[in-house]
Amino acid sequence: MPNPKMPDGVEPLTIEELESGLRVMKHADTDRGVFWDENVAAFRQTVILAIRETSDALLSPTVPPRWRAELEAQLEDLVAYMAMADRYIASRREFDNLVANYRRH
DSSP state for residue 1 in the 8-state scheme:
-
Q: What pLDDT is recorded for position 68?
A: 97
pLDDT score recorded for residue 4: 45
Distances in Å between the Cα of 3 and the Cα atoms of 7, 8, 25 are 8, 9, 27
pLDDT less than 70: residues of the chain:
1-7
Reported as a single tens digit per residue, the pLDDT across 66-96 is: 999 999 999 999 999 999 999 999 999 888 7
Tell me the backbone φ, ψ of residue 65, rounded to 5 degrees: -55, -40
Arithmetic mean of pLDDT over the chain: 91
Task: Judge contact between 63 and 71, C-beta under 8 A.
Answer: yes
Give the count of alpha carbons within 13 A of 75, CB side only.
15
CB 71 within 8 A of CB 58: yes
Q: Give the pLDDT of residue 2.
A: 45
